[in-house]
Structures are given as C-alpha cells and as structure tokens.
Chains A and B, each alone.
Chain A
Amino acid sequence: MNPNPEPLPLDTLQRWMSVVIEHSRDAAAGARSAAGRSMVPLARLRHGDVVKGAGPTEVYRRLDVYNGGYFARLKEALESDFAGLVHALGEPGFRHLALGYVRQHPSRHPNLNVFNRHLPVFLGRQRDLPNRAFLRDLAELEVRITMAFDAEEFTPLDTATLHGLTPEQWQCAVLVTNPSLQLMVSGYPVNAYLQAVYDGEQPEIPGRSRTCVAIYRKDDSVWRHVMPRPAFGVLSALAEGQPLATALERAKGAADFRYWFADWAADGLFTEVIAPTG
C-alpha cells in the first residue's frame, strides 16, 4: 500500500464507484469492467491506493456492502409496488425481472416512488416471458395505483354546482376530472387477479377478457372500479376534455347514464365544471 497515494479527483472517484456499485454481479466485476478500469487501473486498487484495505479481498468486500445494498434496495422498492406481479412471476422470476429493469432503467429521481414507471413497457419487451401481455397489463394497473395514490392534491367539485346547471349549460359543459383519475383498458381481468392476491388467494393466470378499470383516490384511499364499456367511454371522453354532449355520445344509449354522473360526482372524480354563463 502506498502510504501517500495521489487522491483521485472527486468526480472520477464517484463515477468509478457508481460503476462498481451498479454492476449486477459484484464489486470486483464492476472494478474489472472496461468502464471501471478506464477510471481506476486494477493495480491501483490492488495496492490499496483508492480504498483502504489489507488486500483486494478486503477492498472488494467493503465495496460489496454498497454493491449488494444497491440492488436489494431497488428490488425492495419494486416489490412494494408490484405485489400482483411478484405473485404472478414468483420470487425467482421477479428477481430476474427486477435485475434487468434496474440495469436498463436506473433511478434518476430523488424519490423512489417514481422508479416503477417504466416497468410495464420493459415487461412488454421481454419476448421470452410467458404470459407477457397479461403481466404487462397487471404491471400497468399496479403503476396506475401508485400514480393515483401520489397524484397532486385536489378539491372535489361540490355536487351542488352540477345541480345548478341549466340543460343548455349541461350540453356545453366540460367536467374537469381530478388528477388522480387513471383509466385503463386491459385484455385481461387484471383487477380481479390483483384483488385475489390482495385477499391472500392464489389466483392462476387468467384467460383473456376485456376489462375497463377506473382508478382514483377518494378520501386518501385508492379505489378501483371495473366499469361497463359505455360508462368507461363517457368517463374517458370527459377525462380527455370533451364537452358533456360529445362525451355522452359514447354512452351508446345507456339509460342509466344520469346515475353514473351522480356516482362519479359523489366519488369526487370532478374538480371543476366549465360551462358558458347566462
């Protein structure tokens, strides 16, 4: 060990350590990688010129505390967001998926609550994965639950405001949906599957069945509702900013659409009504 090693510039040291920590095998593999060696020659590391240690074994053992913690931490964050996916894939399958995801989509945000966002797309690209389409939709549902949970604050529209609209105003009114509302169409009954997992059951991967789900926050809890297609169509149109009359064209003649609005308003799905005055 050199008693007075020339310190590496801080930036080089941090970039090297980042490579070592992120390596999916271990710190030694990271240090031996081309990126690692381009910043810190292995001889310097072996001589204890970078990290203090009695020899390479100790140096790598100390670096492995950080290398091991990195993946464990991110995998734990994903597990807490994807209970359904963990069940569907099993622990080894989820671990494999998480390892690939962490490698391809490292966190770039100060907050881990957005780390999950790319997982559905990543899953959709895993061509060898059985039940890939179902798993992608299940992941999408679980991401949307976290998005509804973390959506910005809002104040639900007072339902009295709706009652005060004239029939003419109703025609042109635009109902602004609350920012937590997520609308999702899946080719599979993903919501029923997820609920079964939450209930401690052991559901099998289901067959295809088109499902429309609305996910939203009410009174600080996240709610999920499987909706009939006409109602889902109207709500989707409203969420897109369509005027009420246009949105109602998607009701396809359903007689009970008035009840939908009453339920949606009671659930706080609207924050504002924009209607012509007079």
Chain B
Amino acid sequence: MDVFDLARRDLGVGIGLRSVHFPHILEHWPEMPWFEVLSENYMNTGGRPLHVLDSIAERYPVVMHGVSLNLCSTDPLDFDYLRELRALRDRCGAAFVSDHLCWTGVGGKNLHDLLPIPYTEEALQHTCRKVEQVQDCLEAPLVLENPSTYLEFAGSTMSEWDFLTRLATQTGCGLLLDVNNVYVCSQNHGFDPRTYLEHTAWDHVVQFHLAGHTRFATHLLDTHSAPACDEVWELFRHAQELSGGRSTLFEWDADIPSFEEVWEEARKAEAIRGAAPARNGVMRSTEATE
C-alpha cells in the first residue's frame, strides 16, 4: 500500500485513545469510526495497556502515532525501537504509523520533546535518508506530522511547507497535517497559515490532527488541553476544501475531560467535513490517473 492508497482511505473522525477513557470504552463500546493510539504507551509493557489495545483493535480501526522515533537527529536510528514499533503495528493491525518531523535527542539522550530542525538542504537530505531507512524497516510508508515550534533557525533556507513537500516527494512518505500546529506556528513565527495550506502536498496528506492550545503573552503553546479555537476550525475548513477530506483526529492530552466531551468536540469536524466542497485533493487527482 503506497501513500496515495493511505490518503484515499478516509476513516472519518476519530479521537486519540487515552487511558483515562479505558473504563468508559470497555464498558460502553461507543460507536466510533476509529482511534489513534500513542505508540510508546503500548511499547515496553506487557500488561493492561496492551490488553486494552488488543480489545479495542478487535473492534475499531486504529492508527499508531509516536513521539520517540527521533527521526531528524544526527544519532543513528534506534532499530530496537523500530522493531518494537513494527511488532506493535502488526499486533494491532494499525492502518499506518506516524511520528513527527523533529528530533528528540542527540548523543544517546532523549529529551522527550519534539524539537525543531533547520530547514536546510543538509537537514532535508539527512531526513530523507532516515525516512527511507524507517520505511524499509516498516515495509510501509511512514507518515510525518508537522510539529508546533517555538523558534526558527536563522540558517533555514526554505519554508517548513517546502521542506515537507520535498521530503514527501523524494521519499514517498505520507504527511499528517496538524491544523492546530500550523496555526500555532503561524502565530509564533508570523506567517499566514493559509499560505502553508495552499503549498501543502495534498496528495501525500493522509490524516489531519485537530487540538487546542494555550495562549501565553509571548507565544502559543501546543498543549492539547482545550477545545480548538475558532481560527483553527476555520483553517480546518480550508484544509478540508483543499484536500477533499482526510481521516481526522481530535487530540486531548492534558486536563482530559470525559470521553463524551472529547467526542463532542471531535464531532464538530464532522459538520465541517460534511459541509465543505472538495476543490482539489487526492480523491480526485489519483482517481484521474487510474
């Protein structure tokens, strides 16, 4: 399955699976199109989380989303981690595996943060090589998310959207467009978020993320601790128009409310998905090539 097949497979609107919601899900088995699971929560463990995941994966489509691939680090890839990632993917039958365009540590350390890279030719070729290694190991396209960032490097020679487009084109990887991250970065770095969307490689976009952030005096922080703001919903509407529709996921990771409240917030995306006319996107462009 290539990235265009993944993009075509619109799972609908889902939410991130979080352990505080395990009791509710296991008791009620709510009608849900799909769940996204945080890969590392089910790695290096053999207990309850894994068994809950087994039960959920039997009933719902799942995708895996990671934070520790450390893709852009100059350290070599951790192949033990990759083998476990693949084993988990095979166990739960995840439709695909995603992580972030970032590094998380260097020199053997893990800072457990999604750290920014300079958008340079050196970083692009380095990241392309890493993506290819990961895809060889997974025998499937890797899907990469645009991160929220709080600084830009003076040495960058291209925009983030150009970097991602070239990365996706060169490696065949997929893109996970986090609409909230686009908005957070646009506010932190002073660009028009619509420009980002209009230069996105839509054929490679497999999934959307939506989330809330926290506004501080000097910057926006991607906290996943609140509903999405109006500007993010408006941006999502535009992304929906440009893409023609992709699997859409609402993330809530701090101050997590009840399952019903998270699902209620996520379902706002359904109304937009239903209302937005498709102007472009892989649904049309790839069908046209068949």
Contacts and interface: CB of A to CB of B under 8 A. Distances in A.
Interface of A: 1-2, 5-11, 13-15, 17-18, 21-22, 48-53, 59, 61-63, 65-66, 69-70, 73-74, 77, 106-114, 149-154, 179-180, 217, 220-221
B169 to A, nearest CB: 21
Contacts, number: 136
A183 to B, nearest CB: 18
B148 to A, nearest CB: 10
Contacts of A112: 40, 112
Contacts of B48: 149, 220-221
B47 A109 contact: no
Contacts of A221: 48
A45 to B, nearest CB: 10
Contacts of A14: 73-74, 103, 106, 115
A9 B115 contact: no
Contact-size category for B:
35 or more
B151 A154 contact: no
B50 interface: yes
Contact of B68 (A69, A111, A179): A111
Contact of A108 (B43, B110, B115, B189): B110
Interface string B91-128: 00000000000011111111111010110101100100
Nearest to B80: A110
Given A15-B106, A152-B46, A110 B40 contact: yes
A69 B115 CA distance: 11
Interface of B: 40, 43-48, 50-51, 68, 70, 73-74, 78, 81, 103-113, 115, 117-118, 120, 122-123, 126, 150-157, 189, 218-219, 221
B40 A111 contact: yes
B150 A111 contact: no
A194 B113 CA distance: 31
A15 B120 contact: no
A109 B46 contact: no
A1 B81 CA distance: 41
A107 B110 contact: yes
A18 B105 contact: yes
B152 A52 contact: yes
A53 B105 CA distance: 24
A153 B106 contact: no
Given A10-B74, A11-B106, A149-B45, A62 B150 contact: yes
B110 A51 contact: no
Given A17-B115, A151-B47, A220-B48, A109 B110 contact: yes
